[in-house]
Structure 1
Amino acid sequence: MTRASLNALNQSLVNSANFYGNFISKLPFSSSSASSLQTIENSQCKPLLNPLYNLLPETRNPNKIVDLISSSLKQNNSQLTLLQNHIKPLIPHLGCHEITRVLLRFQSDCSSALTFFNWVKNDLGMKLSSHNYCYIVHILAWSKNFSLAMNLLCELIDFVKDCSNCEDLFESLVSCSKDCNFDAVVFDMLIKGYVRKDIVSYNTLISGYCKEGRMQESKYLVHEMIGNGISPDSFTCRVLVEGYRKQGRLVSALNLVVELRRFGVSISSGIYDFLIVSLCREDRPFAAKNILGRISQDGYVPKPDIYNELIKTFCRCNNVADALLVKAEMVRKRIKVNLVAYRALICSSCRIGKTHEAESLMAKMLKSDILPDPHICRVLIQCYCDQMDIDKAESMLSFFAKKFRIFDTESYNVLVSTYTESGDMEKLMELQDRMMKLGFAPNSLTCKYVIHGLLKAKRLYKQKLLGS
């Protein structure tokens, strides 16, 4: 038989198959939906594909769709996208039964099974059945991918909840376990999945009440949760604490945390961090330090930022001694003090006139490889000028310029202003020369101070002449 006659025979078979396929599709027992699989039901309700489909080429034969997809998955998971275009006419014939068949073929290869499941759900946009979900959950749990299994189980809970005919998921999981490998932990996960989903409902209600400032109703719901055996999670605690903080009721927030701990609720370190920082921002460092001491006994390990925040707050409240105690504790625990904390300590020491302590702190800061900033320079220069220690102020200004390339014009102007008060213009001009050689450039304020100094010097000279 020639190639031409073979081609003619093949075309004849295809045409015949198409004719009979169209004929059968019009029979009463066939589906009227274009996207559903044309099947003949047997006594066990399993679909039997039309045998005439076997007369079609493989890529147009619905009987081959499971084999084609399985073959592509075995080659490379990324082949599904290419296959999608190749078998486009067959996609409407990919039903829930065919999806299950593919999943069962790859129950020992959870990666391929999950790739296929996501391809059907996301790329093809098909609505999967609850049994399709049950099979992929079993496959993932059997392969010890418990996190992914739990996520899909929660999706399944939502899926069943939204369906008009409420299914018994436990029965569905048991039914599907007969056809594939399974781990009994799936049934424990189902219970946890249902618990994870109140919790979402409770948290939504609690969050809504907190946003409206109805903290009493929120607290009642928390008690109801605990009474129903549902433990509040970190989101629940955070929403409640933030709700109390917005109302300026941090004490109530602290009392709630203590109460939740009595009920055995685990409080995350993030909640404690939030409470301590909130107390600091309300300028209540002693309360913050007190709660830090209490929770540290329970294993809470504060981050360096928490200690630094405490130091900054104590300094802002002019409690330098307590700030230094916190710093000493950090040194003892080998926790690094940051620039913000050192700046607060130096500024606070200068504010109360303790320049020696401020210099000592800066020396320790430099030893820790933390470089000063213009603000520290400014505070120190101002402090020495206030004490009329002009030589020390100039020496410090030169040190910052030479060592750290900090040319702070504001600090320079403070020094110029101090010289003008004395009325000694000769010394002021000499200072100008020295500073310009270092790299300081006068600005409009500098000129204003110099003019003020000249006027004052002139006035003093006149007074001197009149006095003589």
Structure 2
Amino acid sequence: MNQISKPGKSRLPYPQAIFRFKHFEPKSQNYSSSLQRVPDINKNKPISNPFYNLLPETQNPNNIVSLVCSTLKLKDDAHLSLSLLHKTMQEQGHLSHLGTQEISRILLRCQSDSSTALTFFRWVKFDLGLKLNSENCCIVVHILVWSRKFSQAMKILCELVKLDKNVSERLDVFKTLLLCTDDCNWDPVVFDMLIKAYLRMGMVKESFRVFRKMVKLNFVLSIVTINCLLNGLSKMNYGDKCWEIYGMLGRIGLHPNTCTFNILIHVVCKEGDVNKVNKFLEKMEEEGFDPDIVTYNMLMDSYSKKERLKDAIYLYHIMFRRGVVPDLLTYTALINGFCKGGNVSVAHQLFSTMIHRGLKPDLRAFNTLLVGYCKEGMMQEARSLLHDMIGDGIHPDEFSSRMLVEGYHKQGSLISALNLVVELQRFGILVSQDVYDYLGIALCRENRPFAAKSLLERIACPSYEPNPEILCNLVSSFCRCNSLEEALDLKAQMVSKNMRLDLVSYKAIICCLCKLSRCKEAENLIKEMAESGVWPDIEICRALIKRLCQKSNFSEAEYLLRFFAEEFQVFDTGCYNELIRILCEKGDMVKLMEFQDSMIKMGFVPNGQTCKYMIDGLQRVMGMQKGSVSNGTSCT
């Protein structure tokens, strides 16, 4: 067995030095702990180095310890005396002699008076601003725990653990606490507190490591601390470590209680093995523990989520036989299971049974059934349930209203969803911004921009500000409905509020402008896009160049084709072929060849359609030339 030792001191191996807490008897009636008090070897021990006697009295470290301790004895005015002492030591430059070793010695001399020790500890930490080491902190923790001042001890312990979390090199707080037991009074509960401190700081793995060390040294923790550790590990999905702890309980002489089994039931349910759940439940009963309402609710929730509804209903009937009355959580779990399975009628019956048995549904129970109704498209029943909620004094939350709006949307009845929002406002229920945004976007996508605009204008909440997403959708919807002026007005409002349009909304406006032959405005909008950091895509390029080609504006189309290629790296072969086609139709082969050469150098790649247009153009030119020749011959 490894030994932990201090310089200048010898220690026995752990099995002899550390005793099992619950079997150790105190040696003196003056000690409230079940452990032996280790004498304070530093309390009256003088500094052995004779050269300290050559120092001036005020610079002698031993005298500094005595000076501080004598000051602390002035209990009526200890704070004032320490403040004066601080000023004196600072003026004479003696603070450098008060190091961590001297601080520990002073704390040990004050361990019989925890208030005095804590006063000194805070004075050093806050008034002097000295850096305390882990040993100083652990001594104070031991003193406070010995004096039953658990909250103050836990605060310091959490700070120490937090420091352990932040520093690059790990502090072994457990080892330091253990070493400090040689010099001061201590209580075994301090190690339970250490595990809880790690859990409070979210350091679950570290708490488990401390647990392993304690088991290795035959320490015995309380079952309450074990349950806290199991719960922390369960929340972090460390199921294997939970079972490892459970396997150690018998070896360290601890017996699990109902809370322990409930936590482990929860672990098994999260693992998803329902057969293992049943086996563990049997083991729990073999050890003399009857499942309570918490156990049944966890099992019910697990069965319902996995849609093992027969097992859930069987358990529901077993509860009554064993005298365990189902509560609100039981019924909510069952209702959720049947709603997920599509059997809303049974869920409705369970909801009615729950009310008949005197249980008042809460928001979660109402929402569970509400989701079932909306999922099955039973919107009339969902609306009626909403009225029941409001009648029972339960205000629907964001989830409730969102489910109803989505339900109406799936049924293709956005008008009913709009009426629902108006009705909620009439009842004084605040509808969240997310619900308004969802409904507004849904209206835009169904090309009802004026209805969406009207919804945004009559929103009761004065702090509501439509986000850019819904406004961009509204711009696009106006364009799809050929309401260009409304789209441009809305765009101007967004720009004035420093809101950026997205690519889709810009594209919608540009395409709409091209349809109306307002190509110059579209070109200006492309420049605005580039300045705002939104690059046009190939569809915008095609819409604009196609419209210019239809107007036979070759030079402007060629300029834009080059502009898109050079500025935005958009190389559209379709637009390139469209210009080829125009030149071929004109029969200007010289300009055609010049255009093709310049486009290839820029990066355009001809395809089969390009070749077809050029062949057709050459044939057309050759035909025209033959016709001219034959006409000339006939004339001669």
Q: Which residue in 2 is equivalent to 1:419?
A: 583
Query: Following TM superposition, by how much is the alpha carbon of 1:237 offset from its aligned partner in structure 2, in angstroms?
Result: 0.8
Q: Which aligned pairs between 1:46-445 and structure 2 lie closer than 5 A?
A: 66=189, 68-70=191-193, 72-73=195-196, 79-86=206-213, 98-99=223-224, 118=232, 123=242, 124=245, 129=259, 165=324, 198-295=362-459, 298-445=462-609
Query: Following TM superposition, by how much is the alpha carbon of 1:129 offset from its aligned partner in structure 2, in angstroms?
Result: 4.5
- Secondary structure of the residue aligned to 1:231 is coil
**CA–CA distance in 2 between the matches of 1:436 and 1:350?**
27
Q: Which residue in 1 is equivalent to 2:98?
A: none
Q: Which residue in 1 is equivalent to 2:613?
A: 449
> Identical aligned pairs, as a percentage?
42
**CA–CA distance in 2 between the matches of 1:394 and 1:444?**
21
Q: Is the 8 A contact 2:370 2:382 kept in 1?
A: yes
Q: Is the 8 A contact 2:444 2:452 kept in 1?
A: yes
**CA–CA distance in 2 between the matches of 1:293 and 1:463?**
69
- Secondary structure of the residue aligned to 1:402 is helix
Q: Is the 8 A contact 2:196 2:228 kept in 1?
A: no
State the AA in 2 paired with 1:70: M
- Secondary structure of the residue aligned to 2:606 is coil
Alpha-carbon spacing, 1:438–1:196, altered in 2? closer, same or farther (3 Å): farther
**CA–CA distance in 2 between the matches of 1:158 and 1:226?**
29
**CA–CA distance in 2 between the matches of 1:128 and 1:392?**
83
Provide the aligned C-alpha RMSD in A: 4.0
State the AA in 2 paired with 1:405: Q
**CA–CA distance in 2 between the matches of 1:442 and 1:272?**
50
- Secondary structure of the residue aligned to 2:462 is coil
- Secondary structure of the residue aligned to 1:372 is coil
Structure 1 gap ranges (5+): 1-5, 18-57, 59-63, 104-112, 134-155, 169-194
Query: Following TM superposition, by how much is the alpha carbon of 1:115 offset from its aligned partner in structure 2, in angstroms?
Result: 6.2
- Secondary structure of the residue aligned to 2:464 is coil
**CA–CA distance in 2 between the matches of 1:348 and 1:75?**
63
Query: Following TM superposition, by how much is the alpha carbon of 1:320 offset from its aligned partner in structure 2, in angstroms?
Result: 1.4
Q: Is the 8 A contact 1:65 1:90 kept in 2?
A: no
**CA–CA distance in 1 between the matches of 2:197 and 2:410?**
57
Query: Following TM superposition, by how much is the alpha carbon of 1:231 offset from its aligned partner in structure 2, in angstroms?
Result: 0.8
Query: Following TM superposition, by how much is the alpha carbon of 1:160 offset from its aligned partner in structure 2, in angstroms?
Result: 9.1
**CA–CA distance in 1 between the matches of 2:234 and 2:445?**
52
Q: Deviations over 1:153-183 (max 9, x none)?
A: xxx9967967855699xxxxxxxxxxxxxxx
Q: Deviations over 1:288-309 (max 9, x none)?
A: 1111222276332111111111
**CA–CA distance in 2 between the matches of 1:198 and 1:306?**
33
**CA–CA distance in 2 between the matches of 1:241 and 1:360?**
40
Q: Deviations over 1:289-340 (max 9, x none)?
A: 1112222763321111111111111112222111101101112222122222
**CA–CA distance in 2 between the matches of 1:127 and 1:251?**
57
State the AA in 1 paired with 2:193: S
Query: Following TM superposition, by how much is the alpha carbon of 1:444 offset from its aligned partner in structure 2, in angstroms?
Result: 1.6
State the AA in 1 paired with 2:207: L
- Structure 1, 404-413 or 252-261: larger mean CA deviation: 404-413
Q: Which aligned pairs between 1:8-23 and structure 2 lie closer than 5 A?
A: none
**CA–CA distance in 2 between the matches of 1:407 and 1:167?**
69
State the AA in 1 paired with 2:192: I
- Secondary structure of the residue aligned to 1:206 is helix
State the AA in 1 paired with 2:232: N
Alpha-carbon spacing, 1:460–1:284, altered in 2? closer, same or farther (3 Å): farther
**CA–CA distance in 2 between the matches of 1:351 and 1:286?**
22
**CA–CA distance in 2 between the matches of 1:120 and 1:346?**
56
State the AA in 1 paired with 2:505: A
- Secondary structure of the residue aligned to 1:203 is helix
Q: Which residue in 1 is equivalent to 2:154?
A: none
Q: Is the 8 A contact 1:210 1:239 kept in 2?
A: yes
Query: Following TM superposition, by how much is the alpha carbon of 1:283 offset from its aligned partner in structure 2, in angstroms?
Result: 1.1
Q: Which residue in 1 is equivalent to 2:158?
A: none
Query: Following TM superposition, by how much is the alpha carbon of 1:465 offset from its aligned partner in structure 2, in angstroms?
Result: 4.3
Query: Following TM superposition, by how much is the alpha carbon of 1:405 offset from its aligned partner in structure 2, in angstroms?
Result: 2.7
Q: Is the 8 A contact 1:160 1:166 kept in 2?
A: no
Q: Is the 8 A contact 2:440 2:455 kept in 1?
A: yes
TM-score, normalization by structure 2: 0.49
State the AA in 2 paired with 1:241: V
**CA–CA distance in 2 between the matches of 1:166 and 1:90?**
44
Q: Is the 8 A contact 1:416 1:446 kept in 2?
A: yes
Q: Is the 8 A contact 2:370 2:385 kept in 1?
A: yes
Q: Is the 8 A contact 1:382 1:411 kept in 2?
A: yes
Query: Following TM superposition, by how much is the alpha carbon of 1:419 offset from its aligned partner in structure 2, in angstroms?
Result: 1.6
Alpha-carbon spacing, 1:295–1:196, altered in 2? closer, same or farther (3 Å): farther
Corresponding pairs, count: 352
- Secondary structure of the residue aligned to 1:295 is coil
**CA–CA distance in 2 between the matches of 1:359 and 1:89?**
78
Query: Following TM superposition, by how much is the alpha carbon of 1:467 offset from its aligned partner in structure 2, in angstroms?
Result: 4.9
